[in-house]
């Protein structure tokens, strides 16, 4: 066991201490359901991950949500066990389409990054309808407000754990990357790491229409009815990728000029969703029309064997990430190309957590994978500490591949999604 001020955690090994399940806000249920988070200063034993937010997902190696679990707003800290420091801080937001996932997933274990010289913080936040559904008289984007409350807790308390409150990098992948951009626009962070930035944000009208079909009687009924609504989609873009929740906004915020940015996307993002059977689009042209993609852009993908998968991945993740780097001007951009270069495959490499990630890696890790992981992890550490990950131009993590043409150049992706929602049943 180890102790930092009023918090008691546990030693992972001789180099790293972990403080798990640290509460940063009151349970967001009962009279506080759908309200903004209420900060709390909890202390004492921090030995186990806290309960996760309401969801139906069952992810490998991760806990599941149990109806009745309410104290879901907690965070975790991994810190070097030496007295040196203060250390740069990485505040990392998990992904999951704004509807599932948790900071307890093995991918997000911060021990390897802490050994390399970072204080790593991850957090749970409200998901799905609880976090992003429209409720009259209550704030939208409650999941983002939870993250903001956790980040403020970090600024106020991280010095106790050896972290530097003036040197915080906000990071995330997928929904976590989108979240990181909002946090960087609201809070005085120094740097942002965003992998697979999603083109996912919704108009107030879309959020209101989704809310009409959600049974909000209990958190469990909200999850069940949202799952049923997603399954009922038969036409339009939601028929092929039924993501019902996301930030209610006019678009992703631009990065401030004084914020350093490290951005990355994988080569074939949607290959993962195709492999697990959650992405089943029709013919290429029909798919393009359903998503409102111009015909000349669709035509540029026709020569690819996996055209629909590449088109979807570029539309939702690849091009938004590249455009963000382009707009920022001085951002560092990377592309993960080590097969299978699908969505989320880069996460265990950057965290140094290859053990138990066989599915995401396409098989057991070998010497080449471990060497690549060490390079990617060190780039994160260097960026958090200095703002420079160690390259110029575009960095390829994995195999060098021929640069593909960018069919999206000149196409406006800034409009929020405002698709019709079909009734359930």
Q: Which of 307, 314, 308, 309 is closest to 335 using CA atoms? A: 314
pLDDT, tens only, 390-425: 998 889 998 755 445 455 555 555 556 666 666 544
**Statement: the pTM of the whole predicted model exceeds 0.85:** yes
Rg (CA), the chain: 21
pLDDT, tens only, 250-273: 888 889 999 999 999 999 999 999
Report the mean per-residue pLDDT for the chain.
Answer: 90
For position 61, what pLDDT does the model report? 81
pLDDT, tens only, 213-225: 999 999 999 999 9
* Backbone φ, ψ for residue 340 (5° rounding): -80, 115
pLDDT, tens only, 340-361: 999 999 999 999 999 878 888 8
For the beta carbon of residue 353, count every other beta carbon within 10 angstroms: 23
Residue 400 burial (10 A CB sphere; 0-12, 13-18, 19+): exposed
Of all residues in the chain, the percent with pLDDT exceeding 70 is: 93
Contact 74, 153 (CB under 8 A): no
pLDDT, tens only, 131-178: 999 999 999 999 999 999 999 999 999 999 999 999 999 999 999 999
Contact 162, 87 (CB under 8 A): yes
In the predicted model, is pLDDT for residue 2 greater than 50? Answer: no
pLDDT, tens only, 46-70: 999 999 999 998 888 888 999 999 9
């Amino acid at each position: 066991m180890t102790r930092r001020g009023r918090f008691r955690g546990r030693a992972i090994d001789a180099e790293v201490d972990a403080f798990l399940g640290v509460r940063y806000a009151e349970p967001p249920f009962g009279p506080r359901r759908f309200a903004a988070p209420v900060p709390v200063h909890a202390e004492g034993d921090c030995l186990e991950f806290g309960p996760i937010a309401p969801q139906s997902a069952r992810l490998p190696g991760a806990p599941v949500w149990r109806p009745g679990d309410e104290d879901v707003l907690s965070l975790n800290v991994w810190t070097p066990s030496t007295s040196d420091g203060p250390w740069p801080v990485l505040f990392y937001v998990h992904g999951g389409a704004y509807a599932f996932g948790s900071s307890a997933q093995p991918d997000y274990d911060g021990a390897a990054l802490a050994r390399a010289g970072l204080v790593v913080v991850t957090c749970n936040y409200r998901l799905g309808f609880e976090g992003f559904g429209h409720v009259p008289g209550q704030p939208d984007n409650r999941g983002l407000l939870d993250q903001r409350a956790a980040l403020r807790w970090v600024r106020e308390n991280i010095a106790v754990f050896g972290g530097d409150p003036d040197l915080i990098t906000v990071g995330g992948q997928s929904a976590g990357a989108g979240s990181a951009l909002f946090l960087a626009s609201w809070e005085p962070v120094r740097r942002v790491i965003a992998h697979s930035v999603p083109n996912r944000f919704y108009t107030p009208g879309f959020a209101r229409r989704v809310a009409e079909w959600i049974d909000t009687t209990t958190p469990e009924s909200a999850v069940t009815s949202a799952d049923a609504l997603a399954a009922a989609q038969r036409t339009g873009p939601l028929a092929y990728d039924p993501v019902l929740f996301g930030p209610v906004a006019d678009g992703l915020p631009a990065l401030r000029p004084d914020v350093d940015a490290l951005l990355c996307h994988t080569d074939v993002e949607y290959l993962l969703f195709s492999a697990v059977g959650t992405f089943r689009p029709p013919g290429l042209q029909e798919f393009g029309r359903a998503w409102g993609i111009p015909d000349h852009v669709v035509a540029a993908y026709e020569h690819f064997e996996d055209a629909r998968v590449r088109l979807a991945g570029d539309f939702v993740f690849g091009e938004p990430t590249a455009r963000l780097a382009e707009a920022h001007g001085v951002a560092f951009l990377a592309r993960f190309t080590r097969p299978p270069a699908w969505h989320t495959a880069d996460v265990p490499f950057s965290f140094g957590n290859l053990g138990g990630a066989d599915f995401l890696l396409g098989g057991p890790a070998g010497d080449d994978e471990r060497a690549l992981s060490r390079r990617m992890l060190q780039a994160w550490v260097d960026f958090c500490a200095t703002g420079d990950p160690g390259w110029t131009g575009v960095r390829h993590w994995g195999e060098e591949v021929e640069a593909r043409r960018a069919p999206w150049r000149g196409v406006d992706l800034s409009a929020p999604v405002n698709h019709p929602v079909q009734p359930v049943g």
